[in-house]
A and B are shown apart, each in its own frame.
Chain A
Amino acid sequence: MKTLIAIFVWLPVLAQQPAAPAANPAPAAASTTSDAASPVPSTEPALTGSIDLGYVFIPGVGGSYDAYRSIIDVHQGPKLLGADFTLADPKHHWFDTIQVRATAWGAEPSSSAHVEAKKSGVYDFNADFRDFAYFNFLPSYADPLLGQGVVLDEQSFDTRRKIAALSLDIRPGHWWTPYFGWDHDSSSGTGASVFVTDGNAYPVPNTQRDSTDLYRGGVRFERPHFHVTLEEGGTAFKSDQSLYQNPGSVNFGNFSAPLFGQTLDLTSLLAAYGIGGSSAYSKALVTANPTSWLDIYGQFLFSQPNSNVHYQQTDAGNLYLQSQVLFYSSEQEILNAAAEQPHTTGSLGAEIRPFQHVRIVESWMTDRLHDAGSAASTQTLALSPYAALPLSELIASTLVTNYNQEALDIFFDGIPKLTLRGGYRYVWGDARYAFLPPEGLASADQEQLRQNIGVGSATYRPSQKISLTGEVEGASSSGVYFRTSLYNYQKVRAQVHYQPLQSLSVTGDFTLLNNQNPLAGTNYDYSSHQESLSLYWSPRGGKVFDIQGSYSRSDLKSNIGYLDSGNLSSQLSAYRDNSHAATALIDLNWPHGKRFAPKLSAGGSLFISSGSRPTSYYQPIVKLRVPFGSHVSWFTEWRYYGYGETFYLYEGFRTHLVTTGLRLSR
């Protein structure tokens, strides 16, 4: 890690020396242009930007505070609401510009910071950091005890995820450019989970922690008629999770009914996962235009992640072993497992322009993945203080998928203002998986994928003010992997954009998807469509007011048969979702006065749905900004959140948020 940071710090410094001569031709040219031609005129201040500091008040949350945290999760307190600065060096000594952006620091569900530093032709450095709070406690998701009046989510969590990325390009804009990068993703926190045994399942607390680091380096070669990028990288992964129940308490689990006259319970538990993994990958990208009528594109991507697992479990209570119809009082298990997943992807394509108004795009792609895993476990069950039952098991698993796609599109723009496209795509592949030794119904299977897809589209642009686009896609399949996969489907998309005035634009959008799988035993019938309309009006450049708004209506119907596992009778799963969503914002500006020009904004969004999960979600907002001089402005914002569910009234909430603060700018 320290080495990596040292590389990032020193590479820009070292890179400056050899690249300095490249900047020499510029002064002569610059001298022929005006001062305004300089990217950063020396008359400008070195530091420009703004910072928003404020305080968020939350008078209280009505309804479910857990649902509020699961969806909103903003907390009261002082905050750095935002910052956006640019530091420019007029002498271009160490850098041209450094840009810093930050959002929402201080008891917020998510915070971010971003830094970009660049020196033209020498280096380009980016750093990004984000911190997300992940809280989820919604009993409607996982509450097997709801029938007993217990409101609980047995799959909940309260974690934070931190994501960081650094990237450094050296000599950007030159014909060869080395680059390096590091990405980090980690999560830690607590939650509720379930310890599953034969005959019962026990909700228990858990802790979880995982991290992934990705290191990469490569070089880009960019020439007038071709480009090649070569990259090598790797990842390191670690995950530790533990489920526990301290001795001294009795957990009766989700099944309280006696089994063979005995009540099952859990009196102590410690289950710990130790998972580590790594991967190496290679990437080669190619583009070329060897002639004026031919462009070639190609990619070769290979990765080979692997993982190693050490799992330990110790538990006690009155427990049950289904396979031998035995009750036991404690258990110890040790499991070691490993998995490897070579994954190869390649694509090759070309755009051919044989005639002035005709383009032919041909592409081929393959994606092959092979996962092989094995696990060896040993268990010792204590049947009584003097008798133990040792068990051991070795399981191997494989999962293989090969996906292939070949597509041909022909574009014709010989008719003025109109571009037509017709295309055909063939998708084929196979997938198989197996377990050894076999157990139950799902030990081995193999499926095939075969789809023929036709595409047609038209883009009509009679003037700069209006454009119309329509696209139709239809497919016929003879094999898919899943019952709910796209089978015989039709997709339609149409969009119209009309801008009668520079200040006024209207956009309409329509999408439709029908999917049918008539095969016996499936009978899948799915249809959805969405219609949307948006408006933007900003007369006189928004000096007095501007309005923007959008409205969408969607309708989804899904019917598919399934088997009731209890008696294998045919049942119907019917899902409906009819919704309305709208957003709007009106900005009012005080047109008089340059130093005192308050701005009032009002609007918000709403979502209302009916069907399988009727929901309403309102977020009105009013903002006021009052400048005091040219460097300070005061702002305040009122926001309301109202969330309700017809079937799960106990998860509704409503709250007000009031934010006020100062923007300091220069």
Chain B
Amino acid sequence: MTRWHAVVLVLSLAAAAPPRAAAQAPQAAQAPQAAAQAPQAPTFAGSDTCKICHEDIYNSFAKSPHHPLEVEARKGWQGRACESCHGPGQAHTEGPSADNIRNPAKLTAAAADKICLTCHLNQPTHVGRLESSHARNQISCTACHKVHASEPLVARKAEAINAQCGSCHLNVWAQFQRPFHHKLPEGDMSCVDCHNPHGSIRPAMLQIFAANEPGCFGCHGDKRGPFTFEHAPVRFEGCQACHEPHGSANPRMLNRADVRFVCLECHASLPNAPVKVAGVVPPTFHNLLLPTFQNCTVCHQKIHGSHVDRNLLK
């Protein structure tokens, strides 16, 4: 513990240290980058100029969470918020062609993201970006975030979030049509309750709970433990070792129709097998011809881990 606290302390001191001179002027750090593309001084046209032709977008943008860019001086884009993303627009006003203005919608995902990340990279939201399959598969920020729209910039209601995710993840949404599922089609949960679309340190961009535990425990706290006697798959491979979290035709969202096969497909190794895998074969009194032994969780009811019994019986 002491060692980790020392690490946290060092990071705290580093963060609290006076910022570098370059960092003290965000305007200076950002505006020159755009200015470097067009050296003439009057390269920025100003948002009022944009409004003349794009009034609907301008009015819509006025209700966007990005609108403070337009009115607050400390962000460095006061009066020219449009050009914070589209780049200097003077040439576009002089020759109103689409070729004279930067349109993120026409850029590659990486190039479009670079514009967003100019301001948003250094935020906790993006700390898992390298693990994000969205980033790796060229899904740009604007695929989900509607920059020009009035509110919301991002969907807030569960139904809207699910519709947005489901528009690309068709096969996942199809799984939710199965009878046993988390309550997404009903609008009681949303995809982001379980997944972090910006990336996560957990597999499948799962949300995390209490620093580094699977987000599943945020709602299923009784399965969290730590247990005196753990069931290894829960810790090694997570809930999806036995469950289909998006939906299943099997009760309890299990990945097999019969409980016994969920268990026996792993519990089939002899202790002295040449290849080591977890899960030994049950003792011989388990007569699989009897219905009692075909329902393993009837007796091994603490299958997620037991506080009391090494065989997960109570």
- Contact present for B71 and A29 (CB under 8 Å): yes
Whether A481 lies near B186 (C-beta < 8 A) is no
Other-chain contact of B250, A210, A373, A613 (Cβ < 8 Å): A613
Assess the B226–A307 pair: CB atoms within 8 A: yes
Q: Is there contact, CB below 8 Å, between B222 and A187?
A: yes
A665 at the interface (CB under 8 A from B): no
Q: List B residues 268-299 near A (Cβ within 8 Å).
A: 268-271, 273-284, 286-292, 294-295, 297-299
Kindly provide the distance from the CB of B86 to the nearest chain A CB, expressed in whole angstroms: 16
- B1, B108, B267, B289: the one contacting A413 at CB < 8 Å is B108
B228 contact from A233, A309, A522, A562, Cβ within 8 A: A309
B77 CB to nearest chain A CB (Å) = 11
B235 within 8 A of A: yes
The reply to whether B308 and A433 contact each other, CB–CB distance below 8 Å, is no
Q: How far is the CA of A220 from the CA of B282 in the complex (A)?
A: 51
**Cβ of B266 and Cβ of A413 under 8 Å apart?**
no
Which among A55-63, A137-145, A628-636, A655-663 touches the partner chain? A137-145
Q: Do A229 and B237 touch across chains, with their CB atoms under 8 A apart?
A: no
Asked if A275 CB lies within 8 Å of chain B CBs, one says yes
Identify which of residues 365-412 in chain A touch chain B, using a CB-to-CB cut-off of 8 Å: 365, 367, 369, 371, 373-375, 395, 397, 399, 401, 409, 411
Interface string of B52-73 (1 = CB under 8 A from A): 0000001100110001101111
A-B contact count (CB 8 A): 483
**Cβ–Cβ contact A612 & B257, under 8 A:** yes
B298, A144: Cβ atoms closer than 8 Å = yes
Contact of B281 with A282 in the complex, beta carbons under 8 Å: no
Contacts A29-B71, A480-B277: A230 and B15 contacting too (C-beta < 8 A)? yes
Task: Given A301-B211, A351-B130, A441-B281, output 5 extra A-B contacts at Cβ < 8 Å.
Answer: A101-B157, A103-B188, A289-B121, A441-B283, A609-B249
Report whether A283 and B211 are in contact in the complex, using a CB–CB cutoff of 8 Å. Answer: yes
Quick check: A254 and B292 within 8 Å, CB to CB? yes
B266 touches A141 (CB 8 A): no
Cα distance, A289 to B269, chains bound together (Å): 50
Contact with A along B183-198 (1 / 0, CB 8 A): 1011110000000000
Ranked nearest first, the 3 interchain pairs of A and B with the lowest CB-CB distance are A552-B174, A212-B221, A532-B170
In the complex, whether A237 has a CB less than 8 A from a CB of chain B is: yes
Task: Tell me whether A145 and B291 are in contact (CB under 8 A).
Answer: yes
How far is the CB of A646 from the nearest CB of chain B, in Å?
11
| In-complex Cβ contact of B283 among A255, A440, A536, A575 (8 A) | A440
Determine which of B8, B70, B126, B237 lies in contact with A284 in the assembled complex, contact meaning CB atoms within 8 Å. B8
We find that the number of chain A residues with CB closer than 8 angstroms to chain B is 201
Q: Which residues of A contact B245 (CB under 8 A)?
A: none
Report the separation of the CA atoms of residues A521 and B265 in the bound assembly, to the nearest whole angstrom: 11
Flag whether B74 is at the interface (Cβ < 8 A).
yes
Chain B residues within an 8 Å CB radius of A185: 218-219, 221
> A223-244: which have CB < 8 Å to B?
223-231, 233, 235, 237, 239
A-B contact pairs, 5 of them (CB 8 A): A225-B29, A285-B127, A297-B128, A521-B268, A562-B267
CB distance from B158 to the nearest CB of A (A): 8
Q: Is A273 an interface residue, CB under 8 A from the partner? A: yes
Chain A 125-156 interface residues, beta-carbon cutoff 8 Å to B: 130, 132, 136, 138, 140-147, 154-155
Q: Is B37's beta carbon under 8 Å from chain A?
A: no
The interface-forming segment of A10-18, A323-331, A340-348, A537-545 is A340-348
Instruction: Find out whether the CB atom of B108 lies under 8 angstroms from the CB atom of A461.
Output: yes
A364 to B306, CA, bound (A): 33
Known: A37-B71, A339-B228. A303 touches B212 (CB 8 A): yes
User: Does A267 have its Cβ within 8 Å of any Cβ on chain B?
Assistant: no
Cβ-defined partner of B249 (8 Å) among A223, A226, A552, A577: A577
Whether B72 and A581, one on each chain, are in contact in the complex, defined by CB atoms closer than 8 angstroms, is no
- Mark B229-262 against chain A: 1 for CB-CB distance below 8 A, else 0: 1101101110001000000011110001111010
Q: Which of A431, A479, A509 contacts B236 (CB 8 A)?
A: A431
What residue of chain B has the Cβ atom nearest to residue A574's Cβ? B261
Residues of B within 8 A of A116 (CB): 156
**Residue A183 CB within 8 A of the other chain:** yes
Contacts of B156 in A (CB 8 A): 99, 101, 116
User: What residues on B are CB-neighbors of A65 within 8 Å?
Assistant: none
Contact check, B288 vs A564: say whether CB atoms are below 8 A apart: yes
A507 part of interface (Cβ distance < 8 Å): yes
Contact B130–A507 (Cβ < 8 Å):
no
For the complex formed, measure the closest distance between the CB of B133 and the CB atoms of chain A, giving whole angstroms: 9
Contact with B along A511-552 (1 / 0, CB 8 A): 100000001111000000010111010000000000000101
Contacting pair A337 B201 (CB below 8 A): no
Contact B168 A287 (CB under 8 A): no
- Complex interface: chain B residues within 8 A of A251 (CB): none
Contacts A464-B106, A511-B171, A565-B284 given; indicate if A222 touches B122 (C-beta within 8 A).
yes
Which residues of B sit under 8 angstroms from A210, Cβ to Cβ? Answer: 221-222
Give the residue of A283, A345, A349, A567 whose beta carbon is less than 8 angstroms from that of B130: A349
Instruction: Find chain B residues with CB under 8 A from A359 CB.
Output: 110
Chain B residue at minimal CB-CB distance from A229: B124
B168 and A482 form a contact (CB under 8 A): no
Contact across chains for B168 and A507 when beta carbons are under 8 A apart: yes
Given contacts A338-B228, A373-B228, contact A273 B307 (CB under 8 A): yes
Taking a contact as CB atoms under 8 Å apart, the answer to whether A194 and B266 are in contact is no
Does B26 reach chain A (CB closer than 8 Å)?
A: yes
Residues of the B chain whose Cβ atoms lie less than 8 Å from the Cβ of A187: 221-222
In the complex with contacts A288-B122, A297-B129, A482-B241, A307-B225 CB distance below 8 A? yes
Contact of B20 among A225, A445, A560 (CB under 8 A): A225
A606: B residues at CB distance < 8 A: 177
From B59, B123, B249, B308, contact of A222 by CB (8 A): B123
Interface residue A638 (Cβ < 8 Å from any Cβ of B): no
Contacts of B310 in A (CB 8 A): 395, 397, 435, 439
Closest to A26 in B: B71
| Closest B residue, CB atoms, query A533 | B170
What's the least CB distance linking A576 to chain B, in Å? 9
> A311 in the interface, Cβ–Cβ < 8 Å?
yes
In the complex, whether A615 has a CB less than 8 A from a CB of chain B is: yes
Among B14, B106, B170, B268, the residue within 8 A (CB) of A483 is B268
Counting CB contacts under 8 A, is A583 at the interface?
yes
Asked whether any CB of chain B lies closer than 8 Å to the CB of A361, the reply is yes
- Check A445–B235 contact: CB distance below 8 A: no
User: Taking A282-B8, A301-B201 as contacts, is the C-beta distance between A445 and B276 under 8 angstroms?
Assistant: yes
Query: 0/1 per residue, B71-83, Cβ < 8 Å to A?
Result: 1111000110000
B286→A521 contact, CB < 8 A: no
B123 to chain A, nearest CB (A): 6
CB distance from B306 to the nearest CB of A (A): 9
Q: How far is the CB of A637 from chain B (nearest CB, A)?
A: 13
Determine if B144 is an interface residue (Cβ-Cβ < 8 Å): no
Q: Does A495 lie within 8 Å of B168, measured CB to CB? A: yes
Question: Would you call B226 and A39 a contact (CB within 8 A)?
Answer: no
The distance from the CB of B176 to the nearest CB of chain A, in whole angstroms, is 9
Chain A residues with CB under 8 Å of B307's CB are 273, 275, 307, 309, 311, 337, 339, 375
